């Protein structure tokens, strides 16, 4: 796990975008795993600009999103399908038929999840997975106590996550769906490379547990300690409770080989 700390989230997002862009250039047919929420917006903004300038192309790429709410259509402005179109897909040259999001409106979520797993495998697996982290340490919608080997499935959100996501539903927690479809932790861990983004003081405890704490299902993101290639992009606020923050900065300043 490589911990990369920048003074603010704008610089961290820009650096993460440089790394992702480098991976897209290396393999134009890359399979991306994508996240939603507030955290990856800066990353997407930077990638959109690189695409606009002709520095990278997503024309041959494909993508799989981490999760989707149950019981709302893809046209609902609170769905993650809508989020992805408005914040990323409509602004780049990716083919929409090559983008995949769990079908939260499916009448049979079990079958929908099994089909999603097969689609990921059929695409050759995710090469680069983008992640954010919840304040309680969840990744995707794998809440605390989720199996560290879990596959794509339906999950019930915690009250904490529902409350955190209420801001996207006009502040009304009662409007947030209780259930979601999400890639499992085992599914996420099969990605070849992972980029984790975390910004703000509210994520500091979860970040510290993820990087320096024990590996436990009570903090699902801690499993990333066992993945071969994880780059964690943080701002100072999110890194504020790391005991070894100085060491991570020392290592970055003396990195022998530039990767992006």
Whether 85 is covered by a domain: the verdict is yes
| Residue spans of beta strands (DSSP E) within the chain | 2-6, 31-34, 62-65, 67-69, 99-100, 128-132, 153-156, 179-182, 193-198, 230-235
User: What is the number of residues in the chain?
Assistant: 260
Give the CATH number of the domain where residue 183 resides: 3.40.50.1360
Whether 251 is covered by a domain: the verdict is no
Whether 66 is covered by a domain: the verdict is yes
pLDDT score of 260:
55
100 catalytic residue (yes or no): no
Residue 159 contacts by C-beta under 8 Å, 6 or more apart in sequence? Answer: none
Q: Which of 178, 173, 175, 126 is nearest to 152 (CA)?
A: 126
Residue numbers in the chain where pLDDT is lower than 50: none
143 catalytic residue (yes or no): yes
pLDDT score of 255:
85
Active-site hit among 67, 103, 164, 235: 67
Whether 206 is covered by a domain: the verdict is no
Q: Which of 193, 189, 200, 206 is nearest to 138 (CA)?
A: 206
Whether 117 is covered by a domain: the verdict is yes
Structural domain that includes position 42: 2-196
Whether 237 is covered by a domain: the verdict is no
pTM: predicted TM-score of the whole model, two decimal places: 0.95
pLDDT score of 141:
95
- Euclidean distance between CA atoms 31 and 63, whole angstroms: 5
Active-site hit among 100, 138, 164, 235: 138
Residue 100 contacts by C-beta under 8 Å, 6 or more apart in sequence? Answer: 62, 63, 64, 65, 116, 119, 120
172 catalytic residue (yes or no): no
67 catalytic residue (yes or no): yes
Whether 70 is covered by a domain: the verdict is yes
Active-site hit among 68, 103, 127, 143: 143
Active-site hit among 68, 127, 136, 164: 136
CA angle 217, 106, 157 (to 5 degrees): 30
**149: exposed, middle or buried (C-beta count within 10 Å: 0-12, 13-18, 19+)?**
exposed
- Euclidean distance between CA atoms 226 and 117, whole angstroms: 22
The structural domain count of the chain equals 1
DSSP 1-25: -EEEEESSHHHHHHHHHHHHHHHHH
Whether 254 is covered by a domain: the verdict is no
């Amino acid at each position: 796990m490589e911990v990369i700390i920048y003074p603010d989230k704008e610089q961290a997002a820009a650096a993460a975008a440089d790394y992702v862009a480098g991976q897209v250039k290396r393999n134009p047919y890359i399979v991306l795993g994508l996240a939603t929420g507030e955290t990856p917006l800066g990353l997407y903004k930077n990638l959109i600009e690189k695409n606009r300038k002709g520095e990278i192309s997503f024309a041959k790429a494909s993508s799989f999103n981490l999760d989707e709410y149950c019981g709302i259509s893809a046209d609902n402005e609170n769905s993650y399908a809508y989020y992805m179109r408005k914040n990323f897909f409509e602004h780049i040259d990716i083919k929409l038929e090559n983008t995949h999001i769990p079908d939260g409106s499916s009448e049979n979520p079990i079958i929908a999840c099994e089909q999603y797993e097969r689609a990921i495998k059929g695409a050759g697996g995710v090469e680069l997975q983008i992640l954010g982290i919840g304040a309680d340490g969840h990744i995707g919608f794998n809440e605390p106590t989720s199996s560290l080997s879990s596959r794509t499935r339906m999950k019930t959100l915690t009250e904490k996550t529902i409350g955190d996501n209420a801001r996207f539903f006009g502040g009304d927690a009662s409007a947030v769906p209780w259930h979601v479809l999400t890639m499992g932790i085992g599914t996420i861990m099969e990605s070849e490379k992972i980029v984790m983004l975390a910004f703000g003081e509210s994520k500091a405890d979860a970040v510290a547990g993820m990087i320096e704490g024990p590996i436990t299902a009570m903090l699902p993101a801690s499993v990333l300690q066992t993945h071969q290639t994880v780059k964690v992009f943080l701002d100072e606020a999110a890194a504020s409770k790391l005991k070894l923050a100085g060491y991570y900065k020392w290592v970055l300043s003396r990195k022998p080989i530039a990767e992006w």
